[in-house]
Amino acid sequence: AKSAGGNRYEMADEEADARAITRHGLTTALPAALERGEFFIEYQPLVHLGDGSVSGAEALVRWSHPQHGVLGPDRFIQLAERTGLIVPLGRWVLEESVRQACRWQERNAGDTTVPLRINVNLSPCQLTHPGLVSDTVEILERAGLAPAALCLEVTESALIGADDDLLKPLRRLAEMGVDIALDDFGTGYSNLANLRRLPVSVLKLDRSFTQGMQQFPADPVDLKIVEGIVSLAHSLDLAVTVEGVETGVQAEQLRELGCDTAQGWYYARPGPPDRLHDLALADATS
């Protein structure tokens, strides 16, 4: 038993070492990875809860690492933020997904369905970067995408206590017609009255709220909370998107509670751009 314990410790140490090396290795490999084109984007549909039609997609970045395989953003976004690479990486994600949104719209040309919109995550570091507004304008213009087809997602925690300097670029983008969504809403304990000050048009309810609705019947307190958030949001003219919808029961409850849009495995996992186009077309013709 003793030697097994010893082995376990050795294993744990080795794993810890491997993780540390990997973290350091990943950090130093990031800039070259961007130049070599090792990042790619998966798209997860956003669906109108009213009629189930696809309204657009969220762009979610992945790293196809030559040794470690495909890495999710939880493995490298923080590292990229710490080293500043998040600014060029985030710009690449925005550029690539805006171009993709244009391709969907071109393939849909002649179709009378509403054009697919694209949601892109913004890191707090990008918010304070002076090039945010000009880069975004340039990317939209070069691709020929209407600002109203773009939604930038900013986490609630990034905007807690935000002063006017931080909000100014977001306000300018909102004035141009870009939607700003408050991501992971409900996890940041922000002052609800503060919402009026923010240039946001969408609340994106965190997955923790939808998790409480997985069992049936759902926790009545969870239902009350979501109901309250939805009515507050709508009274402030904000749309409500829910994330992490995994079952039809959840979807139905969230629809009844008045949520506008939903995202989650129940509809589709994140996937390649063509799949999103097929999904959107399928429900437009069904």
CB 94 within 8 A of CB 136: yes
Helix (H) or strand (E) holding 167: helix 164-176
Residue 60 partner contact from Ca ion, ligand C2E, none using kind-dependent CB cut-offs of 5 to 8 Å = ligand C2E
Among the candidate windows 15-23, 27-35, 68-76, 186-194, which touches ligand C2E by CB under 6 A?
68-76
Region binding Ca ion by CB under 5 A among candidate stretches 83-91, 142-150, 175-183, 210-218 = 175-183
Position 147 contacts ligand C2E (CB under 6 A) = no
**d(Cα 209, Cα 223) in Å, to the nearest integer?**
9
Q: CA-to-CA distance for 211 and 245, rounded, in angstroms?
A: 8
The secondary structure element, H or E, covering residue 254 is: helix 248-256
Q: Which does 77 bind (CB under 5 to 8 A by kind): Ca ion, ligand C2E, none?
A: ligand C2E
**Residue 179 binding Ca ion, by CB under 5 A:** no
Q: Should residue 184 be labelled a site residue for Ca ion when binding is judged by CB under 5 A?
A: yes
Binding mask 88-127 vs Ca ion (x if CB under 5 A, - otherwise)?
---------------------------------x------
Please tell me whether residue 44 binds Ca ion under the rule CB under 5 A.
no
Q: Is 123 in the site for ligand C2E (CB under 6 A)?
A: yes
Distance, in Å, from the CA atom of 280 to the CA atom of 47, rounded to the nearest integer, reads 9
CA distances from 255 to 162, 192, 260 (A): 32, 23, 7
Interface with ligand C2E, residue 181, by CB under 6 A: no
Total Cβ atoms within 10 A of residue 40: 15
Residue selected from 90, 169, 186, 199 as contacting ligand C2E according to rule CB under 6 A: 90
Return the closest-CA partner of residue 204 out of 158, 160, 238: 238
Selected from 29, 33, 46, 61, the binder of ligand C2E by CB under 6 A is 61
Applying CB under 5 A, the residues found at the interface with Ca ion are 121, 153, 183-184
